[in-house]
Amino acid sequence: MSKPEIPPLLAQLNPLGFWDLALQTLAKELSPQQFKTWIQPLKIKGYEESERLLLIGAPNPFKLDWIRRTFSSRLHEIAADYFGYPVNLQFTLGSDAHRSSQSAPVKTEFEVGLAAPATVLPSAVPAPAPDSGLGLDAVDDIPNPAEREQAKLNPALTFENFVTGKANQLARAASIQVAHNPGSSYNPMFLYGGVGLGKTHLIHAIGNHLLKNKPDARIRYIHAEQYVSDVVRAYQQKAFDRFKRYYHSLDLLLIDDIQFFGGKSRTQEEFFYAFEALINNGSQVIITSDTYPKEMEGIDERLISRFDSGLTVAIEPPELEMRVAILMKKAAAEGVPMSEDVAFFVAKHLRSNIRELEGALRKILAYVRFHGKEVNIEVARSALKDLLSIQNRQISVESIQRTVADFYSIKVADMYSKKRPANIARPRQIAMFIAKELTQKSLPEIGELFGGRDHTTVLHAVRKIAEERQHDSHLNHELHVLEQSLKN
Ligand code: ADP
Ligand code: MG
């Protein structure tokens, strides 16, 4: 499942913008009938920025229940993607309920000082239902909701429901170690890997674990983008002292997707001091990123060397068995058991990451609940019709590069390297030609994916191979084999 597009940094994030995105995203993911029945009647009823709380109203108890069970986790994801941090969505009945005042979560000193005033939409009558927010609040193994609220931890992300395989066992082991001995074993811990592989999940798990063992620990999860805007706000309000005091006093700082700091030198400077203070205090710092420290762009050298000074650990894309295990576990947790053969069928088709698997599972569950069927391969195939056909139709430039490199026994890296020997240059030209032929990409886009080459280089390659193919039957045959293997 593709990630909804994230709005530019510091753009006005607001509940209506989120709702627009949610409607667009769900319209693509659901059938028109489902969309009209379940999603369209929903309304945003209120938003309290300082509490990260968004109220969504449903027109009747039946729909309310259905939405909670079926769409809660997806809406939470879209909200987290939009706002850049987890948001607590509460589902409530659409009419005449009133917000009880005692339910207002405790605020930290920092938030009281810096957060913008709560925004409540004009028509809003905010009213969290007594048992609302199923997706997030159902887990009750953490003692103190106020602490959790301050820490911004999502209680649903724990070690218990984190499935392990070769791809993530190191990352998980290191995380458990750090959760048990914060500040003393690996400091900082730097966790990196591609999107949807479980980085955010793991660091929330660490926070939740520590909070459970030590309810008075000062813990804070923050997405790097949010940290950047907090720095800007502290700067505008000349509130740096308070900002510093807050961050420097933590026992555990979990900072997510730090690649967002790239090019933001003011933020980096501020973070550098916080980092030094925390490490000197023996407080634990945990950082995630989409790449390893030395590869990060636009980040100050001294930060990079600090990031790399503790433990740096990767999280890899899940292997087949792990994808199967994840599907089965998550399906069972939803109360809709999935057999191994169905899980294999889905896992074989969806290879990239766990978020995508969850998207597929959601579609299957929605289909099953809607049509009142059992999960089997046919049902999975129908529910995932769009996903699977897109996967089949779309050939990526990366897979072309991999296939061609394998075929001619060169390294994939040579596809984007600047090297020019003929045994490398020619397969590269062939890969460019096939990329033009089998994908929708433009010449400049292809050039970009081949190590930032100019579009005229791509054009030259495309013409040359096309021309040679006409009279070189050997080349023609090779291209044919390559094209066939890519299409299957
Ligand atoms: P990242 O931060 O690396 O982009 P996330 O931590 O947001 O990825 O993971 C994407 C989704 O996949 C989340 O819903 C998360 O709970 C789930 N997930 C990731 N790894 C696992 C795992 N090993 N077991 C169970 N669920 C996982
Ligand atoms: Mg993440």
CATH of residue 57? 3.30.300.180
**φ/ψ of residue 403, rounded to 5:** -65, -45
Nearest to 55 by CA among 33, 79, 30, 36: 79
199 ligand 1 Cβ < 6 A: yes
17 vs 13: which has the higher pLDDT: 17
User: Sign of torsion, CA 376 377 381 384?
Assistant: positive
In this structure, the answer to whether residues 38 and 184 fall within a common structural domain is no
Which residue has the CA at smallest separation from atom 20 of ligand 1? 198
Residues 148-204 have pLDDT tens digits of 678 999 999 999 999 999 999 999 999 999 999 999 889 999 999 988 999 999 999
- Local confidence band at 21 (pLDDT 50, 70, 90 cut-offs): confident
| Lowest mean per-residue pLDDT among 32-46, 235-249, 310-324, 418-432 | 32-46
Residue 146 included in any domain:
no
d(CA 153, CA 145): 10
Pair of tokens at residue 59: 């027109």
d(CA 282, CA 218): 13
Angle at CA 418, nearest 5°, toward 415 and 423? 60
In this structure, the answer to whether residues 158 and 16 fall within a common structural domain is no
d(CA 129, CA 137): 12
d(CA 87, CA 81): 10
Residue 37 included in any domain:
yes
380 ligand 1 Cβ < 6 A: no
Alpha carbons within 13 angstroms on the beta-carbon side of residue 289 total 23
Does residue 288 come out as left (phi exceeding 0), alpha (psi in the -120 to 50 range) or beta?
beta
Domain boundary among 81, 97, 120: 120
- Local confidence band at 15 (pLDDT 50, 70, 90 cut-offs): confident
Using the atom order of ligand 1, give the atom closest to the CA of residue 165: 23
| Number of domains forming the structure of the chain | 4
Residues 429-465 have pLDDT tens digits of 999 999 998 887 889 999 999 999 999 999 999 999 9
157 ligand 1 Cβ < 6 A: yes
Residues 228-287 have pLDDT tens digits of 999 999 989 988 899 999 999 999 999 999 999 999 999 999 999 999 999 999 999 999
Average pLDDT (363-380) is: 92
Q: Is the pLDDT of residue 47 over 70?
A: yes
Domain that holds residue 355: 320-393
CA–centroid distance, 436 to ligand 2, in Å, is 33
In this structure, the answer to whether residues 45 and 98 fall within a common structural domain is yes
What is the C-alpha R_g of the chain?
A: 25
List residues, by chain if needed, whose CB lies under 5 Å from ion ligand 2. Answer: 199-200
Nearest to 168 by CA among 194, 188, 187: 194
CA–centroid distance, 87 to ligand 2, in Å, is 14
Residue 2 included in any domain:
no
d(CA 89, CA 244): 30
4 vs 334: which has the higher pLDDT: 334
Pair of tokens at residue 351: 């290879």
Residue 138 included in any domain:
no
Question: Given 3-state DSSP classes, what are the helix, strand and coil percentages for the chain, each rounded to the nearest 5?
Answer: 55, 10, 35
In this structure, the answer to whether residues 455 and 433 fall within a common structural domain is yes
Best mutation site among 157, 201, 358 for ligand 1 pocket (most ligand atoms within 8 Å of CB) = 201
96 vs 326: which has the higher pLDDT: 326
In this structure, the answer to whether residues 360 and 343 fall within a common structural domain is yes
198 ligand 1 Cβ < 6 A: yes
Domain boundary among 361, 393, 425: 393
pLDDT at residue 147, rounded to an integer:
67
168 ligand 1 Cβ < 6 A: yes
Which residue has the CA at smallest separation from atom 5 of ligand 1? 198
In this structure, the answer to whether residues 16 and 108 fall within a common structural domain is yes
- Tell me if 200 is assigned to a ligand binding site: yes
pLDDT at residue 13, rounded to an integer:
65
Nearest to 434 by CA among 388, 409, 390, 402: 402
**Ligand with an atom nearest the CA of residue 225:** 2
d(CA 310, CA 192): 13
**φ/ψ of residue 89, rounded to 5:** -90, 130
d(CA 103, CA 87): 16
Residues 70-102 have pLDDT tens digits of 788 888 888 887 777 778 888 888 743 333 333
| Lowest mean per-residue pLDDT among 45-59, 90-104, 157-171, 404-418 | 90-104
172 ligand 1 Cβ < 6 A: no
d(CA 445, CA 458): 10
As a whole-number percent, the residues of the chain with pLDDT over 70 amount to 84
Residue 1 included in any domain:
no
In this structure, the answer to whether residues 409 and 475 fall within a common structural domain is yes
Using the atom order of ligand 1, give the atom closest to the CA of residue 354: 12
CA–centroid distance, 161 to ligand 1, in Å, is 10
Residues 210-229 have pLDDT tens digits of 999 999 999 999 999 999 99
Find where tokens 């899940």 sit.
318
- Tell me if 198 is assigned to a ligand binding site: yes
Residue 145 included in any domain:
no
CA–centroid distance, 49 to ligand 1, in Å, is 25
In this structure, the answer to whether residues 344 and 375 fall within a common structural domain is yes
CA–centroid distance, 195 to ligand 2, in Å, is 7
In this structure, the answer to whether residues 157 and 169 fall within a common structural domain is yes
Average pLDDT (37-56) is: 80
Alpha helices in 334-383 (DSSP H): 340-349, 354-371, 377-383
In this structure, the answer to whether residues 264 and 399 fall within a common structural domain is no
In this structure, the answer to whether residues 343 and 439 fall within a common structural domain is no
User: Sign of torsion, CA 261 263 269 270?
Assistant: negative
Domain boundary among 314, 338, 365: 314
